[in-house]
Amino acid sequence: FNINKDASVTANEFKELLIRRGLPVVPVNQITSLFEKIRYGSKSILPEDEKNAINCLLEIKLYCQNRNL
């Protein structure tokens, strides 16, 4: 499963690309929201945010493994 992200692509555009390519909507939306919150917001990452990000990535990883992507 190869997806190349051009530097000019926004987080939201990349999220939409991932969803169009078949990745699960909920964890992709959540990880993108967490990224934008930390990257563009004035807040620090909270332990809960870190836990949510890890869970999203694990869910995406498991989805890909189960589909041999």
More reliable by pLDDT, 59 or 2 = 59
- Coil vs helix vs strand at 19: helix
Tell me, yes or no, if the pTM score tops 0.85.
yes
**What average pLDDT is seen over the chain?**
91
Phi, psi for residue 21 in degrees, rounded to 5: -80, -5
pLDDT, tens only, 15-45: 999 999 999 999 999 999 999 988 888 878 8
The span from the CA of 30 to the CA of 27, in Å, is: 5
Look at residues 35, 41, 27 and name the one whose alpha carbon lies nearest to residue 5: 35
Do residues 3 and 21 lie in contact, with contact meaning Cβ atoms separated by under 8 Å? yes
CA atoms within 13 A on the CB side of 26: 6
